A and B are shown apart, each in its own frame.
Chain A
């Protein structure tokens, strides 16, 4: 009959505030779900308005090669191609460089060198992206123009933006890849050495394959970051959708377009206003999928060695 005895010295004290606090904290945690749902809801709702506009149709949006809201042409391929160009260039620079830095940090650097390098990478990672944009505009573009000739390289071009995004994701790739490499058990390395492998052979034939899932998760996340990067492309890639494979020409990315349109005075409920949400939805779907896959892969990786 314990529950009838209130505040009995050995009974469970009735403490309503414990439950209240737990519920409150749970609601805080649930709030994060609300953000995701909010993002999805807003993007879908506004995109729906965009596609409900008589000038817009879904097929034209997905396959059209011209994006000119002024004359009612809404083909998003030029924006997508520019986004892919900058991201591809960024990955071509960022992945090998980041991976090599990570290997060096994890396998070769002395403690002293690591003590210097890690903070350097943290500083690089902490610099706001707008500063990278400024760097692209004032350093990378003039550099490219002096190497390849001013006639061949536009003042605004996707190559400059892409290279700088590569530098921007480098610290992230290096840090995450180092984590993946160092979490490979030491036994594997020792076994490789015992078989007579050199340290390089051990790295490339044993450690890298063993950390492949962690590494690919890193690369996917970096790609997602590069696709969503905004300020660098807004400053350096150019303003004006342009379907071109030439990285030395100006071309506007999805994020660059969103920033340019919303930075101006857009009236609500216009096609322009709704179009940035439709493009935002595309961006969200792409990056969300990449993040999910990345998380799944790194989950597999942790199961392997735990």
Chain B
């Protein structure tokens, strides 16, 4: 029999077939396993962030509310008169003067007074904090900890809350917030967009529409690809040497006499935004090129056919046809800039400022930098604050990306209607 001469006996052949089949199944399991592992990592990443954002905190008050007003366990239960008198009595004269200078006590709202009393009189400090998982599943050991330490208040806290968005930095994790960092991030993104978008789109138009296939243009293309893969920290070094040091009189705003604050030494929003503009430029160019490539050549040809010039063709046909993709690609590049940390740390972003940025010559901090600072601190409670800041950052990124998708759909719908 033929099969016997070639593959041995029928039995051997069956076992060989069996083996091949098994190895197929085994590999398929491996592929599926790897894929599930990748998804698992994403879930774990989200879970670990959410875990530290919610959970029990044990807080020790320096002064208990019932010591201030008999029979009241919470500051929020205090009456208006009690609040004012407590603040008058217990605030040190320096702080009181500053507070009154900002806004007299009588004009402040109850809520405002309560937060003042908590911040300066009660002075709560976090002794220990637990993650969401421990808070739900390991309440026994939390109870044991509370029993072992007297005078602590246990409460379930969502570290991400409204006051986290609106308050600025604080040395106390309970009062820390992201407003300054959030505004800093928005300013930086704006500068990045203003500089990188026109140059990036312009360069892409040249490379796609004008460039002939010669040595110089191939070099340009190779260079852009290479730049997109250069580690971001290198851009930080470039920004440090060029924008912060060499161009200090421009980036610090000292060439404009109207800018009073020149303490930033060039470590300003302008420097940060320009550095990130260089970083995202190659990405914008590549994304825009993809968008331009997707425009069918017949459109260009028909435009030339009715006598339009090159620029007329680009401006009135190619760009309108690809603007949705260009903008989507740009927003993707900008969300990359929004999450960048290393280059901004290298150019020397401030790490502890509580003054909102007021112009492009202000010192700044951004969300990722705050996350870095808070994560790097040894105190446990700052991990929770960092978790809340990460959720803020991810929400911002999500908002940007959904905006991009909605806008793209809207424009392409409009395009369909017109055609």
Contact = CB atoms under 8 A, between A and B. Distances in A.
Interface of A: 15, 17-18, 21-22, 24-26, 28-33, 35-36, 38-39, 42-43, 46, 96-97, 100-101, 103-105, 108-109, 117, 120-121, 123-124, 126-135, 137-139, 167, 170-171, 174, 198-201, 203-204, 221, 224-225, 227-231, 234-235, 255, 258-259, 262-263, 268, 276-277, 280, 283-284, 287-288, 291-292, 294-295
A22 B209 CA distance: 10
Nearest to A174: B38
A277 B234 CA distance: 9
A25 B34 contact: no
Given A230-B342, A259-B346, A29 B203 contact: yes
A269 B183 CA distance: 33
A130 B386 CA distance: 11
Interface residues of B, number: 86
B34 A225 contact: no
B238 A117 contact: no
Contacts of B303: none
Contact of B226 (A139, A200, A201, A295): A295
B34 A284 contact: no
Interface in B316-339: 332, 335, 338-339
Contact of B346 (A198, A258, A268): A258
Interface string B336-350: 001111100111100
A130 B397 CA distance: 14
Interface in B372-419: 372, 375-376, 383, 386-387, 390, 393-394, 397, 401
A101 B38 contact: yes
B153 interface: no
A50 B30 CA distance: 50
A126 B348 contact: no
Contact of A108 (B23, B31, B311, B390): B31
Contacts of B219: 33
Interface stretch (B41-49, B65-73, B92-100, B163-171): B41-49
Contacts of A103: 31
B400 to A, nearest CB: 10
Contact of A134 (B31, B49, B332): B49
Contact of B231 (A135, A171, A221, A255): A255
A229 B234 CA distance: 11
20 contacts: A22-B210, A22-B311, A25-B203, A29-B202, A33-B219, A38-B238, A42-B238, A101-B34, A104-B31, A120-B39, A123-B42, A130-B372, A134-B371, A167-B45, A230-B232, A235-B372, A235-B375, A262-B345, A263-B348, A283-B231
A101 B30 CA distance: 9
Contacts of A170: 38, 41
Contacts of A129: 339, 341-342
B371 A291 contact: no
A230 B231 contact: yes
Nearest to B347: A262
A6 to B, nearest CB: 17
Contacts of B394: 127, 131
Given A33-B220, A104-B32, A108-B28, 13 more contacts: A22-B310, A25-B206, A100-B33, A101-B35, A117-B39, A121-B38, A138-B48, A138-B387, A200-B20, A224-B231, A231-B342, A258-B236, A263-B346
Contacts of B44: 135, 139
Given A18-B310, A128-B368, A33 B241 contact: no
B233 to A, nearest CB: 5
B237 to A, nearest CB: 4
A120 B46 CA distance: 13
B255 interface: no
Contacts of A101: 31, 34-35, 38
Contact of A126 (B30, B211, B335, B371): B335
Which of A22, A24, A127 counts the most chain B CB atoms within 10 A? A127
A230 B229 CA distance: 14
Interface string B7-39: 000000000000011011001101111110111
Nearest to A295: B225
Contacts of B386: 134
Nearest to A277: B237
A142 B252 CA distance: 43
A101 B245 CA distance: 46
Contacts of A138: 48, 52, 375, 383, 387
B122 interface: no
Q: What is the interface of chain B mostly: helix, strand, loop, or mixed? A: helix
Contacts of B225: 291, 295
A24 B49 contact: no
B206 A234 contact: no
B230 A288 contact: yes
A204 B20 CA distance: 13
B226 A230 contact: no
Given A22-B210, A36-B227, A198-B21, A268 B35 contact: no
A29 B211 contact: yes
A66 B397 CA distance: 42
Contacts of A97: 34, 37-38
A129 B309 CA distance: 45
A133 B220 contact: no
A274 to B, nearest CB: 11
Contact of A32 (B49, B227, B234, B242): B227
Sorted from nearest, which 3 A-B pairs have the closest CB atoms? A228-B231, A128-B339, A100-B34
A193 B35 CA distance: 25
A31 B203 contact: yes
Given A128-B340, A228-B231, A292-B226, A100 B237 contact: no
A17 B28 contact: no
B397 A126 contact: yes
Given A100-B35, A131-B49, A295-B226, A258 B233 contact: yes
B285 to A, nearest CB: 7
A128 B341 contact: yes
B278 interface: yes
A29 to B, nearest CB: 4
A137 B375 contact: yes
B38 A32 contact: no
A32 B285 contact: yes
A35 B342 contact: no
Contacts of B250: none
Contacts of A201: 20, 24
